[in-house]
A = this chain, B = another copy of it.
Amino acid sequence: MKALVTGGAGFIGSHLVDRLLRERHQVTAYDNLSTGRERFLEDASRSAGFRIVVGDILDAGRLTAAVAGHDWVFHLAANADVRHGTEHTRRDLEQNTLGTFNVLEAMRAGGVRRIAFTSTGSVYGEPELFPTPESCPFPVQTSLYGASKVAAEALLSAYCHGFGFEARVFRLVSALGERYQHGHVLDFLRKLRTNPDEIEVLGDGRQRKSYLYVGDCVEGMLLAMERAAGPFEVYNLGHDQHCTVDESLGWITERLGLRPRLRHTGGTRGWVGDSPFIFLDASRIRGLGWKPTLGIREAVLRTLDDLLANPWLLETRG
């Protein structure tokens, strides 16, 4: 098949590109390189089936031209950081909601009707049900990020209903692994480089989070593409394990041979829109035969080791 991956130079996107190329598909990465990196596509670039289009999903003309002629669109381009929503209220709306609308319109213009979309467990807000299933009660959004993603999901399902699109929506927990670009492992490592003796932890450190290794994430997506049957299908993609922020920090400091004092900023949330407990019920995708290959601790340590081996990933980009 011919696949176009928006955000194809990003963390999850570049792994997906590699995986699709291994299956001998033709792959176009569409990325504005704002957070994506061409360096992540070094392997991919050696493949004859690969090409990259540098473009923004908000550039409807360029996007429409790029999308035409593909069989599937994997729409991963997004503002992927749930923090800072209240500082930049337009960012999630534009990059996630309007960006998804542009992708759908580009597909409609080009007669492309199959799409896989990376949504987020954040669309559940602060649910009352754990582990949280896809069919949990009508959620209340607690972040502009979650709001923008639930809006994008809604557009997808309306296009399935109205235009005969076929969509796979993946509600992800935070991914870990090689080419990691933002999140707690990076934040902690940066802080410990500045001061190995004391570290600030947002919240009370007891926030419980589930994570997933990026390779397991990509496998789940491809499996659901092959096996799911209906026109609009939603799958949680998360681990059956969870850990606290302090536990994860403990694994990191142990690996680094450090014993910093922890200074918690307090409160049950690390930032506005942070969810004190994220734990998804992934039995739906497990029913298709999927399961994670790495535990959360292993995924955290693999992320850390990759960051240590690639110190350029720690540099703040100008």
Q: Interface on A for B, CB 8 Å cutoff?
A: 85-86, 89-90, 93, 97-98, 101, 105, 108, 125, 134-144, 146-148, 150-151, 153-155, 157-158, 161-163, 232, 234, 272-273
**Known contacts A97-B97, A136-B138, A137-B137; A272/B162 CB under 8 A:** yes
CB-CB < 8 A to A234: which residues of B? 138
Query: For residue A150, which residues in chain B have a CB less than 8 angstroms away from its CB?
Result: 150-151, 154
The quantity of this chain's copies bound in the complex is: 2
20 contacts between A and B (CB under 8 A): A86-B163, A89-B101, A89-B108, A93-B98, A97-B151, A135-B138, A138-B138, A138-B139, A140-B232, A141-B153, A141-B155, A141-B158, A143-B158, A144-B162, A147-B151, A148-B154, A150-B151, A151-B151, A151-B154, A151-B155
With contacts A135-B137, A137-B137 known, what are 10 further pairs, Cβ within 8 A? A89-B105, A90-B101, A97-B97, A136-B137, A141-B158, A142-B157, A146-B154, A150-B150, A150-B151, A161-B272
Contact A146 B125, beta carbon cutoff 8 Å: no
Minimum CB–CB distance for A280 against chain B, Å: 12
Which of A101, A154, A234 is packed against the most chain B CB atoms within 10 Å?
Answer: A154
Inter-chain contact B140/A137, CB cutoff 8 Å: no
Separation of A146 and B147 alpha carbons in the complex (Å): 15
Cα A173 to Cα B125 with chains together (Å)? 26
User: Which residues of chain B are within 8 angstroms of A163 by Cβ–Cβ distance?
Assistant: 86
A126 to chain B: closest CB distance in Å? Answer: 9
